Amino acid sequence: MTDQLFEFVQNHPLLVGAFLLVLAAWIAYEVRNSTASGVTAGEATQLINREDAVVVDTREAGDFKAGHIAGARNIPQSRIDERLGELEKVKDKPIIVVCKHGQSSGATVAKLAKAGYPRVLKLRGGMMQWQTDGLPVVKK
């Protein structure tokens, strides 16, 4: 198996080079986006307690009911455009966007920032990291 891999690499250097270039670009993109405008669970807790930050949970209703951050608003990512007006009253407060793993919340953060919300942050690691850190969740 290893011999075949080395033979492939020797016979197709341009293809392998292109693959490695795309892989490196993808990794760089993911690393940049994972740290951009994100907060850790500890930082989110401080924002909630000190600045009355609003938590927007973008998971579907079933996941939200299974466990969410206390006081979070459930606005599924698929309906964020039509329910954007619900956040108009809290536009001046920090908004923390939460998803399941912290990967899909970036799209919601971008939509809210484009709509004029000045302090929109995502929770790094999402609800999975929140629960891994042993922080409390509310179940309904």
Determine whether 99 is an active site residue.
Answer: yes
Nearest in space to 72 (alpha carbons), one of 46, 88, 95, 92:
95
- Six-digit token string for 24: 């490196």
Q: Is 121 exposed, middle or buried (0-12, 13-18, 19+ CB in 10 A)?
A: buried
**Among 53, 87, 97, 99, the one annotated catalytic:** 99
Closest to 131 measured CA to CA, from 100, 109, 107: 100
- Indicate which residues carry an active-site annotation: 99
